[in-house]
Structure 1
């Protein structure tokens, strides 16, 4: 009976039982797509990763990311957590890892403490900022049980944004953030009205005070009622805000997961580049569990 090793880590935290949990299958050779998807559903985390040999030997791994119901082209906390695990196994090259993914090549810098122990990672999102559909404030508010006036549209309307995977970003009033609660029927209705959403409606709500951001992310159509830390959405938000605010570089600290009892801290750096606005996102990790899948 094949034994497939895995490890779990809490990502974007320095405390056990904080941040966003991730399962990493460190040697997924021989697993079929169906088995990977079934294992991701079995683990029941926001995402699970599967590490495979790279197609290009200049890179370090091919990493596939699955949430409970489908594969993702890119995601933030899975890359940070997978890099953390592999670096602890000595699988980085001079402090850098390069992961092949559906959205493109993801470059990751390993973070260490003064004693040299691996503490986390910083990833570069694989694509520059791209924007898509704008959605009505009242429709977005209804998805999470808020009033239309709770959605702030001074800087931007609720809008699809991506640096590798698409989210709908919406600013809300500070006191409204804690009141947000997904309404599954309303999510389904809104997704059905807009075919360009392709059935994906991952809603990233945020409040902002200068460079400090508080956020929550809901993706019930994908099986994630709420996500405690969403690196790819935070990276997209950083890029969007830089594009709106002007300047060449911006830094954000994003606090997420508080309402879930899993506080998370993400550090986002966004810069203007020749091909658009690009973002990096960094955070710490905590190792939690090790085991084997018996298939």
Structure 2
């Protein structure tokens, strides 16, 4: 049996940037073992297997695998899969396509709005299925800095300090003082294990206010060797957690706040994530993630 697959670059408006994604269609008859083996073969941060939805009103069921394991939710697979399904199933009107793609994921139902225009890259956005919340305690600054190959004075800026936040996945959020320092950060052998691998986290998200582009609010990097991702070019799930960090430290007033996150530059895969925070009554009420995606290639898998 041959299965159709596509690859897309997500959180970018051009090929060979952003975060690569593989999407396998018609995957209903694949076993868990087969899906994991295919994800290892693609060897991308995530591979999505599209299956028939359990509810007729929904678009599809989407199962997401890293090279090592299945996960309940991730941002760039949600954006990329929704854009692909919108392109394949939506009829154009006056050269434009707008679609609501409803995906059944391990975390729950995720509704994604997709906007397709002939003159620009497709764009999609969704409300986070879970709001970020504080989760866990991190070691002291010197231990964290050593794990990243930095010095303690390079961890933290302004009032921002390292914290763990979760929104389906738990990440360690480590503020870094400068763009130069974040560029030197690395997985620093056994020091990394001491700093991060005993915390039960999905990954380590570094961020700084210093950016490559003036249109961006934060420059970020994300390391997740525990799940087979040495470094990720764009991490939507972590961006949801960053919304909690921003609200916690920057004390945003009620209203809608938009931020642009840049990531992947150190990997040669520039990415841009649109982050929207809605604050009501002093509390974070909604987090929205948006981004573009472009198709790169397509083919068939022989089962």
Q: How many residue pairs were aligned?
A: 289
The correspondence for 1:177, drawn from 175, 178, 182, is 182
Cα drift, residue 215 of structure 1: 0.5
Cα drift, residue 163 of structure 1: 2.3
How well do the aligned residues superpose, as a CA RMSD in angstroms? Answer: 2.2
CA distance change for structure 1 residues 192 and 171 in 2, over 3 Å: closer, same or farther?
Answer: closer
Which residue does 1:272 correspond to in 2?
Answer: 279
Structure 1 unaligned segments of length 5 or more: list them. Answer: none
Q: Is the 2:165–2:244 contact (alpha carbons within 8 Å) kept by the matching residues of 1?
A: no
The answer to whether 1:130 aligns with 2:129 is no
SS in 2 for 1:236: helix
Q: Which moved more, 1:121-130 or 1:208-217?
A: 208-217
Deviations 1:170-228 (A, max 9, x none): 1101121111011242333344544xx1xx44000000259611000011121111111
Q: How does 1:206-285 map to 2 (within 5 A)?
A: 206-208=207-209, 212-244=217-249, 245-248=251-254, 249-272=256-279, 276-285=284-293
Which residue does 2:35 correspond to in 1?
Answer: 36
Q: How does 1:138-177 map to 2 (within 5 A)?
A: 138-152=142-156, 154-174=158-178, 175-177=180-182
Provide the TM-score with structure 1 as the length reference. Answer: 0.91
Which residue does 1:119 correspond to in 2?
Answer: 122
Q: Is the 1:10–1:286 contact (alpha carbons within 8 Å) kept by the matching residues of 2?
A: yes
Cα drift, residue 70 of structure 1: 0.8
Which residue does 1:83 correspond to in 2?
Answer: 82
Which residue does 2:301 correspond to in 1?
Answer: 293
Separation in structure 2 between the aligned mates of residue 72 and residue 24 of structure 1, nearest angstrom: 15
Q: How does 1:46-85 map to 2 (within 5 A)?
A: 46-85=45-84
Separation in structure 1 between the aligned mates of residue 280 and residue 22 of structure 2, nearest angstrom: 33
Separation in structure 2 between the aligned mates of residue 66 and residue 292 of structure 1, nearest angstrom: 18
Cα drift, residue 15 of structure 1: 1.3
Q: Is the 1:22–1:48 contact (alpha carbons within 8 Å) kept by the matching residues of 2?
A: yes
Cα drift, residue 80 of structure 1: 0.5
CA distance change for structure 1 residues 192 and 242 in 2, over 3 Å: closer, same or farther?
Answer: closer
Q: Is the 2:121–2:294 contact (alpha carbons within 8 Å) kept by the matching residues of 1?
A: no
Structure 2 unaligned segments of length 5 or more: list them. Answer: 92-96
Separation in structure 1 between the aligned mates of residue 135 and residue 81 of structure 2, nearest angstrom: 29
Separation in structure 1 between the aligned mates of residue 76 and residue 169 of structure 2, nearest angstrom: 13
Q: Is the 1:125–1:164 contact (alpha carbons within 8 Å) kept by the matching residues of 2?
A: no
